[in-house]
Structure 1
């Protein structure tokens, strides 16, 4: 019979493996942000977690926060430079600067921090008081900032800061690696529509699905959360980085926001319109990791199963895991039984099958 300690150790080991496997997909942080936040919060011990990914200028480009209220999210997205940048604002922009330690700059903030807009308009309205921060650097450039939060009371320890620093090594891999193969995407079935004026490219109409997709994208300048029937910004086209007739695939929490443009009437007539269609796409690699982690396997067996799900040949296993042919045969027998598969090809098919 396993002791509670061994069960806890196994659970933590599984969380570290989940973090590592998701980041090794090389998709960046946006599509996996909800999963990563849940893992970090559980591993380190926090009330909530947030991830902010940065553009080429080091400014916040998008984010995922587990429990921040809509009003705070809208302020962050729409009023960042007006309200949260300055000498006394220790916000994402400041934490992204390559100064000081990579982790724990807000472990013991000064009194000025608690008078700042950052604390009083963003942190405190979310019910938080303590923050444990991490700067994620890749090749000398800050690519993301992670933050863990706790309510007033016991703050974060130096031991927890060390755990977050260890997690940062995994987060770096989300940017440092090329995507691990392409298994295509799955769709959630919800397609939104936005009608644009052909001349000004201003939005004229948007259905509820399009509005919801844009709300949940958490893109800078699109603070639409918590509003009933919010008006889309006049410069929506620019915020999405589109060109007339161009399609785009924007990394957002939970996947990729696929945007396509369709002319409804001849644009040259001056009376035409564009129709934007929006749909959330979910990279199948993420689902492969989730399915592998759900199987009752050892950490090594999960790594082997993931190779099948991500499109590798069985012959690749020895080189990629160091497992010899005899041991691989034994492990594979257990993996196939757990997955209900007959062979390597069947295992791969089951792990990356559509929903």
Structure 2
């Protein structure tokens, strides 16, 4: 995604293509949030970007912010109702409402906003001053809010807003099942974390450092741990991890993939009730890595899409339906793809992309 290009227009077109490919995976925005934020920041020319995704009731479910400090993230996750709700607090719930413009509510927020907690404890605390916002709707409701930030100085313009609004269709596509999508293959990434729960109450008793780090990275409401040196987990940890009603595995969409959780019962000692063990590990979608490999190839946008179809597990014949190319054109494009990748045939191409 950072290959040299011949002009600013070509570089911007490359970013649009990257956004289309990441969102076209149909994984939602959480697993691709770091990549999407980087693309949006590059398209508009911002200092930083953030994505907030919402649950069915419109509450913030998780987020990814490129550069906000740990303390600001903890306040947002743990103290939202106490500090950031009020008539002059303009933040995610305000921007998610469908009773206002989809783009640019923060271009001129008014003088009272700059005295609000939202500005002083979150935006200014991150070194920013200007905000450009976009509401993302899919399946009849708001699914996400995107924000771009700039430091004090020149703010965002109407031209910037128009450019960001062009991204809304691709961002909404992330929540729809793509016709080109295959079942999401994942790879376990990083260390395995463990949390011990009390036998009867199932309150957390102990979390190792790997579990604490995974929970810090997850950005789940009520689990703000970034600013803490000692880990204090909430008593309803199981519910927050989706394990409250079952001892089977569960997973939650978090920045960069999914947080996989499973619970088992430990062996009891001397007839005492047995404690429980929660195991945590990050799962990363392999398709995101495939997109990054394809974007690095010296190919046209259509040829990259064809190469990605191979990596995702589609048959060669699927290219006619999914990419809209005839057999003669497909042969021509495949010759270029094979030359760029060194692949011998479609099956070899799939292995190389993976």
Identify which of 249, 252, 258 aligns with 1:250.
252
Give the deviation of 1:178 after TM superposition. Answer: 5.1
- What secondary structure, in the 3-state scheme, does the structure 1 residue paired with 2:314 have? coil
Q: Which residue of 1 is the match for residue 309 of structure 2? A: 307
Q: Give deviations 1:288-313, integer Å, cap 9, x for gaps.
A: 11111111111111111111111111
Does residue 203 (structure 1) correspond to residue 204 (structure 2)? The answer is yes
Does residue 349 (structure 1) correspond to residue 345 (structure 2)? The answer is no
Give the deviation of 1:27 after TM superposition. Answer: 0.6
- What secondary structure, in the 3-state scheme, does the structure 1 residue paired with 2:259 have? strand
Q: Which residue of 2 is the match for residue 23 of structure 1? A: 23
In 2, distance between residues paired with 1:91 and 1:189? 33
Q: Which residue of 1 is the match for residue 186 of structure 2? A: 185
Does residue 73 (structure 1) correspond to residue 73 (structure 2)? The answer is yes
**Which is further off, 52-61 or 224-233?**
224-233
- What secondary structure, in the 3-state scheme, does the structure 2 residue paired with 1:175 have? coil
Normalising by structure 1, we get a TM-score of 0.94
Q: Which residue of 1 is the match for residue 227 of structure 2? A: 226
Q: Give deviations 1:276-333, integer Å, cap 9, x for gaps.
A: 1111011111111111111111111111111111111111212222222222112111
Q: Which residue of 2 is the match for residue 264 of structure 1? A: 266
In 2, distance between residues paired with 1:60 and 1:159? 28
Q: Give deviations 1:217-252, integer Å, cap 9, x for gaps.
A: 000000000322322222222222312413111100
Q: Which residue of 1 is the match for residue 144 of structure 2? A: 144
- 2:190–2:281 contact (8 Å) kept in structure 1: yes
- What secondary structure, in the 3-state scheme, does the structure 1 residue paired with 2:102 have? coil
- What secondary structure, in the 3-state scheme, does the structure 1 residue paired with 2:267 have? coil
- 1:246–1:260 contact (8 Å) kept in structure 2: yes
Q: Give deviations 1:159-195, integer Å, cap 9, x for gaps.
A: 1101111111100001122581125211124101111
Q: Give deviations 1:66-85, integer Å, cap 9, x for gaps.
A: 00000100000001111111
Give the deviation of 1:51 after TM superposition. Answer: 0.3
Unaligned runs of 5+ in 2: none
Identify which of 259, 281, 296 aligns with 2:283.
281
- What secondary structure, in the 3-state scheme, does the structure 2 residue paired with 1:109 have? coil
Q: Which residue of 2 is the match for residue 324 of structure 1? A: 326
- 2:5–2:11 contact (8 Å) kept in structure 1: no
Q: Which residue of 2 is the match for residue 104 of structure 1? A: 104
- Number of corresponding residues: 348
In 2, distance between residues paired with 1:15 and 1:309? 21
Unaligned runs of 5+ in 1: none
Q: Which residue of 2 is the match for residue 124 of structure 1? A: 124
Normalising by structure 2, we get a TM-score of 0.95
Q: Which residue of 2 is the match for residue 93 of structure 1? A: 93
- 2:251–2:259 contact (8 Å) kept in structure 1: yes
**Which is further off, 277-286 or 208-217?**
277-286
In 2, distance between residues paired with 1:185 and 1:330? 32
- What secondary structure, in the 3-state scheme, does the structure 2 residue paired with 1:176 have? coil
**Which is further off, 337-346 or 230-239?**
230-239
In 1, distance between residues paired with 2:77 and 2:38? 22
- 1:215–1:222 contact (8 Å) kept in structure 2: yes
Does residue 164 (structure 1) correspond to residue 164 (structure 2)? The answer is yes
Give the deviation of 1:131 after TM superposition. Answer: 0.2
- What secondary structure, in the 3-state scheme, does the structure 1 residue paired with 2:167 have? helix
